Chain A
């Protein structure tokens, strides 16, 4: 088994774990972490793609690396935005949940 295959399998495992977490975990914070795991799997896949050298004659294709850097920045901003929203939600509602059950309208001072 070559190195790229191992990395490819790792990428698949990370994507699978991330998907599982994103679907099953009810807490938003865990969903955000699961999204990051899922994203890491995809970036690893891009790395494997670059290593396999899609461009002819190069030992390593540089384009996927550029794509990964951009993707990391995007995922980072997404995480920052999600965390900021989560904090605002916790401050405003006293709890952070995504369930559609009716929430308390006014903040509960004893909640935080």
Chain B
């Protein structure tokens, strides 16, 4: 069960020092690597990564034994004057997921990052930024007050932005600058909210604040500002203008980190804010709005993903859709008295975040291998790639299967939990969206696999060497995501029933067939590129029947694309940010 978060805890617990170490060791690594310079950077990184991995493992093992969260008071000052670090079940899950992803990416990056003539310092920068991102993420997961979270969030952005432009091309520099400026707008709104909360309640400590906060104008305005600021950093639709160019332009290892982990940082702060600081303030309408944005993100992201020409852009748009999926848990977590309950819905959301982190990182790594092998990543040019790069395609397939929610993946367990809560609370419309999300995910996975597995007329030549450690790292990460449903979650998250019992039932088959069949239909209807079956004579009848539907869906797709290009203009995106802040404020005011 979740440890109770409302008890004022003002003592350092016995193993609390682990939390300090989980932040201090990566930061020490950054400084050390910076001082020692280019020659030693790998040695430093490969010393620090196992140490932090051990610290995180120790934290995860110690937490179930201690009653309640692990706490460390910095300098033994108690809040509100001091700063506390706390790790509860949510922190443990995210700490572990981050550690696994970063370890796999670092194995991948050893093979991938070699100093080139164009950018001799790119590997050096990559390793330093990797450690910096790890330190910042750990701070977000264990930070106990809203200002620490702000600083950690900024550190995360400052480490993530240079990762986007590692190769120094003008397009990626522009993407990085857009990302930085929009993220800064978001974080200033968050800081403004924090100032208002401090002014009213005299503390920013999460536990203290949750006991003091009430439904007053100051707290509602602060909640609206902080939420919309964090949404901008998470790139929830319609605030996603920076995400696709930034995530698709970065080198594969950097994309895996950005897409898998960095967006989860601000998502985690939203979870902390709504579930722990002000669970009683939001009310029905605001949570419905949040999930409606999520649903819109699923439709927009998936339709756009199916229309992309390049594999990396497809994966970037699929991240957009998956971010939307994470926000479906908010209305489901609301109980009858309008209070956000840290129950099964929250567990489902967190599980989805963890499984998306692993699966999406694996997908980007597989795409990186394919790009390195072929010299391009055009989806229509992937024919025959499964023969020359079988491990990369396998890793992509396993990650995709895990992501679409096939047993026993983490996504499947998350979907089960959310669907169950949706039935219990009678919110059937979110159950529909949850199923549709799985089908859309299947659509773009099927699309890529159909092209990759199709036979090619001419032999495929590799321009780069296929690297086995690179592919194996991606494959292991994808398998992690696929097996997440089998992990015993009870000590960390309230997962009520034993999910492994129904592993080989008729339900499993249905859960596999529904998304795959729906996905095939959607992929044929929405993808504008000639699909591999179009030329075969046997399918002529089917294609003739489907043709009018296909024309309608393609028109819908191009409409979505045009709408998206309007939303991705800077003024439109920043005005929708302000409008969202106003809407959240108004809805919360009505609710209280």
Q: Smallest CB-CB separation from B153: which chain A residue?
A: A74
Contact status A46-B195, CB under 8 Å: yes
Given contact pairs A42-B188, A63-B81, A98-B570, A85 touches B195 in the complex (Cβ within 8 A): no
Contact status A70-B158, CB under 8 Å: no
Given contact pairs A88-B168, A89-B170, A89-B174, A63 touches B198 in the complex (Cβ within 8 A): yes
Interface readout for A44-60 with B: 1 if CB under 8 Å, 0 if not?
01101100101100000
Prevailing SS type, chain B contact patch: helix
Contact status B184-A78, CB under 8 Å: yes
At the interface, yes or no: B173 with Cβ under 8 Å from chain A? yes
Interface readout for B546-590 with A: 1 if CB under 8 Å, 0 if not?
000000000000000000010011110011001000000000000
From 53 to 109 in chain A, residues with beta carbon under 8 angstroms from any chain B beta carbon are 54-55, 61, 63-64, 67, 70-71, 74, 77-78, 81-82, 85-86, 88-89, 92-93, 97-98, 100, 103-105
Contact status B173-A93, CB under 8 Å: yes
Name the one of B80, B147, B568 contacting A67, with C-beta atoms under 8 angstroms.
B147
Contact status A98-B177, CB under 8 Å: yes
Q: Which residues of A contact B15 (CB under 8 A)?
A: none
Q: Which residues of A contact B176 (CB under 8 A)?
A: 85
Q: Inter-chain contact count A-B, CB under 8 Å? A: 111
Inter-chain CA distance A92–B119, complex, in Å, is 13
Q: Which residues of A contact B154 (CB under 8 A)?
A: 74, 77-78
Shortest CB-to-CB span from A22 to chain B, Å, is 6
Q: Smallest CB-CB separation from B81: which chain A residue?
A: A63
Q: Which residues of B contact A15 (CB under 8 A)?
A: 192
Interface readout for A20-48 with B: 1 if CB under 8 Å, 0 if not?
00111010100110010011001001101
Given contact pairs A38-B188, A55-B202, A89-B174, A74 touches B151 in the complex (Cβ within 8 A): yes
Shortest CB-to-CB span from B82 to chain A, Å, is 10
At the interface, yes or no: B199 with Cβ under 8 Å from chain A? yes
Contact status B185-A35, CB under 8 Å: yes
Interface readout for B131-153 with A: 1 if CB under 8 Å, 0 if not?
00000000000000001001100
Contact status B195-A42, CB under 8 Å: yes
Q: Smallest CB-CB separation from A79: which chain B residue?
A: B184
Q: How large is the interface on A (under 10, 10 to 19, 20 to 34, 35 or more residues)?
A: 35 or more
At the interface, yes or no: A17 with Cβ under 8 Å from chain B? no
Name the one of B181, B199, B568 contacting A100, with C-beta atoms under 8 angstroms.
B568
From 155 to 186 in chain B, residues with beta carbon under 8 angstroms from any chain A beta carbon are 157-158, 161-162, 165, 168-171, 173-174, 176-178, 180-181, 184-185
Q: Which residues of B contact A104 (CB under 8 A)?
A: 170
At the interface, yes or no: B191 with Cβ under 8 Å from chain A? yes
Inter-chain CA distance A65–B507, complex, in Å, is 59
Q: Which residues of A contact B184 (CB under 8 A)?
A: 35, 78, 82
Q: Smallest CB-CB separation from A41: which chain B residue?
A: B192
Q: Smallest CB-CB separation from B176: which chain A residue?
A: A85
Inter-chain CA distance A16–B512, complex, in Å, is 52
Name the one of B169, B180, B191, B202 contacting A71, with C-beta atoms under 8 angstroms.
B191
Shortest CB-to-CB span from A76 to chain B, Å, is 11
Contact status A81-B198, CB under 8 Å: no
Q: Which residues of A contact B158 (CB under 8 A)?
A: 77-78, 81
Inter-chain CA distance A46–B147, complex, in Å, is 12
Contacts A35-B185, A70-B147 supplied; 4 other A-B pairs, CB < 8 Å: A32-B181, A49-B195, A78-B158, A98-B174
